[in-house]
């Protein structure tokens, strides 16, 4: 692995001097062509689109919550040599160095606390993680995190399709709520080795536009202005821990006195992106209620599981939305 890291150091220096776009934003690999998807996204064998974000797998029936980035530097045996860099300043939130413990294989998560919304970035399927890093370390944008690879616990990624799986998103539940949800879903005998940084406890948005155009100074506004696919009304007499971590997603500086609930706007893939509190018990059903849905996003929301439709063509909240609310609210 020492040879690989010597390559990594060389490529890191070349990359930082050539493609750093300002002090706040770095591309995650030496691949500097995010605007040219044919040379940026890695195909899965089902077509180029399958390396992108959204309902792109298995003929549009399976969700892909990130993008897969092609390597640009290969060893003689075809193995990728690309370094993987932090896209910006932040804190190492989680490191998984055991590939058999996750679909992500070896992965690392950075929380970027310099924005007005503490988004995280995830770097997965790594061949190796920078051994000098520890959870809680502060990293700089462009700092070496590891080496691209093809590690995963449930599939054999062919060498010619090695890639960086890259996500940007928000963590959903805190330790108690998420673990309760996990135990209810999988049983207490099925361990959760990743705690709150289990991939099931995150929701992501398409990172490609950000890699193409750079990160806006107001990330909260960016997320809140993602397209609304449906709106729910929920009961809450306390500010959810999710909103304590992401207060910029809530309308106004709200206290808990007389708080009864929220109207929550969601993206089609289940990001609870905008929260409007209300203080009338008449508008606070004990169970979450769907109060609006946009027909333009019905199909993808249903395919994702954010919404569901019965044989009478009636629309309801889907299992993924209900799971998200359970992780956030602990219901």
Average pLDDT over residues 131-151: 97
6 pLDDT exceeds 50? Answer: no
Report the distance separating Cα 230 and Cα 316, nearest Å. 10
**Residue 254 banded pLDDT, cuts 50, 70, 90:** confident
Dihedral, CA of residue 120, residue 70, residue 11 and residue 94, to nearest 10: 30
**Domain ranges for the chain:** 2-213, 226-329
CB 28 within 8 A of CB 85: yes
- Looking at 22-31, 112-121, 149-158, 226-235, which range is the least confident one? 22-31
Is the pLDDT at 10 greater than 50? The verdict is no
User: Per-residue confidence at 284, pLDDT binned at 50, 70, 90?
Assistant: low
Q: Which two tokens stand for residue 108?
A: 């690392």
Q: How does residue 48 score in pLDDT terms, banded at 50, 70 and 90?
A: low
The CATH superfamily assigned to 2-213 is Glucose Permease (Domain IIA) (2.70.70.10)
Nearest C-alpha neighbor of 246 from the set 271, 212, 227, 282:
271
- What is the spatial distance between Cα 78 and Cα 89, in angstroms, rounded to a whole number? 31
């Amino acid at each position: 692995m020492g040879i690989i890291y010597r390559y990594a150091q060389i490529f890191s220096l070349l990359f930082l001097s050539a493609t750093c776009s300002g002090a706040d934003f770095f591309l995650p690999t030496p691949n500097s062509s995010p605007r040219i998807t044919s040379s940026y996204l890695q195909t899965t064998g089902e077509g180029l689109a399958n390396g992108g974000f959204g309902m792109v797998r298995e003929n549009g029936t399976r969700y892909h919550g990130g993008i897969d980035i092609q390597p640009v530097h290969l060893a003689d045996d075809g193995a990728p040599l690309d370094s993987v860099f932090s896209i910006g300043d932040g804190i190492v939130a989680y490191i998984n160095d055991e590939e058999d413990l996750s679909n992500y294989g070896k992965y690392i998560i950075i929380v970027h606390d310099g924005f007005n919304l503490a988004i995280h970035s995830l770097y997965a399927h790594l061949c190796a993680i920078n051994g000098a890093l520890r959870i809680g370390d502060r990293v700089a944008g462009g700092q070496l995190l590891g080496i691209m690879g093809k590690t995963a616990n449930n599939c054999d990624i062919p060498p010619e399709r090695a890639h960086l799986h890259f996500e940007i998103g928000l963590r959903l539940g805190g330790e108690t709520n998420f673990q309760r949800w996990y135990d209810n879903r999988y049983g207490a005998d099925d361990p959760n080795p990743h705690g709150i940084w289990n991939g099931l406890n995150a929701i992501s948005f398409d990172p490609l536009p950000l890699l193409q155009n750079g990160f806006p100074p107001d990330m909260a506004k960016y997320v809140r202005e993602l397209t609304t696919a449906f709106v729910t009304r929920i009961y809450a007499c306390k500010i959810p821990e999710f909103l304590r971590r992401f207060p910029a997603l809530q309308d106004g500086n709200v206290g808990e006195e007389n708080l009864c609930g929220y109207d929550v706007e969601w993206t089609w893939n289940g990001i609870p992106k905008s929260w409007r509190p209300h203080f009338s018990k008449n508008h606070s059903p004990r169970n979450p209620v769907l109060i609006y849905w946009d027909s333009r996003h019905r199909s993808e929301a249903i395919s994702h599981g954010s919404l569901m439709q019965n044989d009478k063509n009636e629309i309801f909240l889907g299992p993924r939305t209900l799971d998200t609310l359970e992780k956030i609210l602990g219901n």
